[in-house]
Amino acid sequence: MAPISKRRKLSDLTSGDTNELLNKIEEFRSNLDEGDEDLPDGLIDKLQELRDKLENAKHTSFSKVDPITLASLEISSGPLFPISDKKQEIEDLGLAEIPGCLLIDTTRSLISLVRGHVATVTEAGCCILISILLLRVISACPDVNIIPGFPIPKTTFNPESGKCSFSGVVDFLVTKIPTQYTAYLLSNPSIALARPGNIEEPIMSNIFEAKRDNIWAGLSQATVAAASYCQLQGLSVIRGVITSGEQWMFFVYKRHPDGTGRVLYSPEYTLGPNLEHLAFVLGLLRDSIVNATSSDLAFFTTPRQI
């Protein structure tokens, strides 16, 4: 290795120097085993931090994202239109059961218990209610798993307005994988999902954003989280949900080859004071989870092909 003749600041590096250093960092990182217990704490994060500085990327956490951010990333949006004559099919899907699953009557009782004894004015309280519906769905789908508080590492985007990066924690990542990988996934989700090749089978994931009141305020955050996850996993489509536990909104994010994207979102649905819409919400939830990476929508139409 040639001796360093002079120490320089990052601002002194030429474009060629910067590109060479970025390539070296990427080569070094690709040779690391991120599951190695002997790796110094925070090394991966520091390498990413150095990359961001070299790329002059402005960093933002998901919680600070707003509609202006979507515009800067060239992510467009539009509505999903429910197909009216599919209502019974959706409810039947929500009521479908297999031996040993969480029964619909038990689900109703648990929701009533939460409503009567848990303060859902807090986000943590909302998550208890959300968890009941998720548990009902996964009890009928043995290959689906819940990862609460899943961290998505820094992801850099390159829109015309300038490089920027995002990171944060999604309230729930619901992942559908072959059952033989369940123990591996649940023992260390961050390592299992760090790279697409770590699990040599198709993986389908849903992004869930919990909001205690105005779920519309979570659309931008959930969209950027979905865009980041798509980029990290090499996905072109991902579905997601924004919910308070009582109100539910479903979305589909499509990543375009040029790095831009489009998000389409459903109307807001409620469970209803007497849980009269519970089966309907459960049906949409199950469809969203089981078809997490498909843009073929069974229960909605779109204003145009996404």
pLDDT, tens only, 245-281: 999 999 999 999 988 999 999 999 999 999 999 999 9
pLDDT at position 14 is 55
- CA 149, CA 146: separation in Å to the nearest integer? 10
Q: How buried is residue 50: exposed, middle or buried, by Cβ count under 10 Å (0-12/13-18/19+)?
A: middle
Burial 168-193 (b: 16+ CB within 10 A, else e): bebbbbbbbbeeebeeebeeebeebb
- CA 56, CA 254: separation in Å to the nearest integer? 27
- CA 176, CA 292: separation in Å to the nearest integer? 8
56-67 pLDDT, tens digit per residue, is 667 788 999 999
Q: What is the DSSP string of 97-161?
A: --TTS--HHHHHHHHHHHHHHS-TTSHHHHHHHHHHHHHHHHHT-TTEEEEEEEEEEEEEE--TT
DSSP state of 257: T
Nearest Cα neighbor of 167 from 83, 71, 63 is 63
Cβ within 8 Å of residue 15, ≥6 positions away = none
* Mean pLDDT across the chain: 89
Q: Is the model's pLDDT at 202 over the cut of 90?
A: no
Residue given tokens 């519309």 in the structure block = 216
Task: Answer for the pair 280, 91: CB distance below 8 angstroms, yes or no.
Answer: yes
Separation of first and last alpha carbons in the chain:
51
Q: What is the DSSP string of 24-74?
A: HHHHHHHTS-TT-TTSPTTHHHHHHHHHHHHTTPEEEEGGG--HHHHHHTT
pLDDT at position 248 is 98
Nearest Cα neighbor of 190 from 223, 226, 160, 147 is 147
Tokens of 41: 């704490």
Q: Is the model's pLDDT at 171 over the cut of 70?
A: yes
Name the pairing type of β-strands 75-79 and 247-255.
unpaired
The whole model's pTM is what? 0.81
pLDDT at position 1 is 45
